[in-house]
Structures are given as C-alpha cells and as structure tokens.
Amino acid sequence: MQLHTFRIEDFIGSDEHFHFARKTLGASKPKFQHCHDFYEVFIVTYGATHHWVGDDVTRLERGSLVFVRPGDRHALQAVRGERNEIVNVALRPEIVEHIGQRYGRDLGQRFFWHEGREPDTYHLAGPRLERAINVSSELQASVNTLAAIEGYLLTLFTRVVELPVSVDDSVPRWLVAASDAAKRPEVFRQGAAGFVKAAGRGHEHVCRMARKHLGMSPSTYVNRIRMQHAALMLAGSDQAIQDISADCGIENLSHFYRVFQRQYGTTPRQYRVNHQKNPMRAS
C-alpha cells in the first residue's frame, strides 16, 4: 500500500493550533496509508471502523479513542453496512511536547508517548464516552486557541481516560494488579472485599501493604473509585440517585451521600445540578 505524508500547514493557518473534523468514512479498502508531521486523536462516534496500521488491521467499535503519533503509518475504513462517523483532531507537535514536559511524570508512557508499535487505543462506554463526545463538541465550537486544545487534551487524559496508580519498583505487582482491577465495576461494587479478592492475599496483609504504598486502606481506595463512577453518572445521565448508589455497590443511600460529600464537598443532588448535561451533547 502506498504511503502519503500529510503536513499540518496544509490544514491550519499559521496562527491556529489545531484542526477539528467530523468525518464519514468510505467502506472501500484504502488505496494508501499516511503518516504526518503532527499528532492526531480520533474517536469513533458511530458505527465501526477498520484501522489499518502497517500490515495489520484492527476493528474499532464505537467509543474507540486513538492517539496517533507522527510516525504512525495508518489508514481508516468504514465497516460496510454500518453508519460511520469519527471525530478527528490534528494538532501541532509543539503542543504535545509542551504537555509532555510539564505533565510527563503524571501521564507516563501512554497516549502520544506510548512506545508500542501501534497507537495507544482506549475503549470508552457510558458516561466516559458521553464526556469525550461532549468535550469534542465544545472544542469544535471554540475559538482556535492554545488554551482550548490544551484543555481538551488534559480532559481526555485525566477525566475521560482514567490515569493508572503511580507506583515505583518497590510496590508489589499483585498490589498494582489489584489497584487496576478495582477500577472495574464488577470489582468495586464488592467494596474492600473485591479489592482483597483481586489481590489474592490475606485481608490484613493487603490492608497493611495498601496503607504503605497507596497511602490509604482498600476501603478508602475503592470508595474513591466508586465516587468517581457516581460523579460521572450524575453529570452524564438522568439515572435516579438511588440507582446510581446501587450501581456503585452501596445499598444504603445515607451512607452513599456521606461518602460522596466527603469526597466532593457537596451532595450528589447538588453535584448533578452543578454539572448537568451539556446541551451540546451529540444525540
């Protein structure tokens, strides 16, 4: 397959920082792949997409979020018979370089700094996908400024894709695995018991190691994740608060209110009022 090189100056003016596009892809096999001298992020907002990277092709479902580096050789193709749309944002390399210098320790080798052969890809669903679509719509309507594109990227990095636990080599691998597992609903709904089960160690030992390396008990760690999940549901859905509490694995609504207020400084109801759904959200 032939290779074309795209240049950022062909898409934006000298005083602009990014290019935003909504694209409907064709279902024919691409005639060429491309690389570029800029960074690119795209979200599959409808249908499914074949993503060609070198000689390999991957099917990306709705909600796939992909961070493409300048040297990535790739092409996109709609899955035949399905409605298809992607949101695509191209941005100058110096923007990514600046963010990497400032926040590299927090972001790690993820997103545009991923060192794997293929671009770093995430699969969003529910409130996280809604948030990604919302902030993309806001970027499309914004003035083309450095602040707008940096704000967009930081939202994707920290509020759409959840950051991993920051650890060093002294942290037991089983504790890292349990910390990651606790981010899954089927685990955090079980509370501290789910964390301990994922760790595969005795309760007291897990609690002791969690306090040493995470700075908190398994219960506190899981409750933090539960409340993050609750906050996303409150801001991005009309689901009843009692149902959100149950979805977090907390049947006692009064306890849910206490834990949420301790983390966010406000009640779940007031949080919803303050973070009600964006009227620009895509249908």
What pLDDT digit, counting tens, does each position of 7-33 carry?
999 999 999 999 999 988 888 888 888
> Which among 80, 90, 62 is positioned nearest to 25, based on CA atoms?
80
User: Is pLDDT above 90 for 3?
Assistant: no
Q: What is the DSSP letter of 165?
A: P
Q: How confident is the model at residue 83 (pLDDT cuts 50, 70, 90)?
A: confident
Query: 76-80, 168-172, 228-232, 272-276 — which is least confidently predicted?
Result: 168-172
User: Is pLDDT above 90 for 95?
Assistant: yes
Q: Is the dihedral of CA 123, 128, 133, 137 positive or negative?
A: negative
Stretch 48-71: mean pLDDT:
90
Q: What is the DSSP letter of 12?
A: S
- On average, the pLDDT of the chain sits at 88
Global pTM value? 0.63
pLDDT of residue 258: 95
Q: Report how many helices (DSSP H) and strands (DSSP E) the chain contains, helices first.
A: 11, 10
Q: What is the DSSP letter of 279?
A: T
Q: Residue 201: which region, alpha, beta or left (left: phi > 0; alpha: psi -120 to 50)?
A: beta
Q: How confident is the model at residue 282 (pLDDT cuts 50, 70, 90)?
A: very low
Question: Which amino acid appears at position 191 of this protein?
Answer: G
pLDDT of residue 262: 87
Domains of the chain and any CATH numbers: 2-160 (2.60.120.810), 173-274 (1.10.10.60)
d(CA 64, CA 79): 14
Stretch 91-117: mean pLDDT:
91
Stretch 105-112: mean pLDDT:
86
| Strand spans (E) along 2-38 | 2-6, 18-23, 32-36
Q: Is-contact 105 256, C-beta < 8 A?
A: no
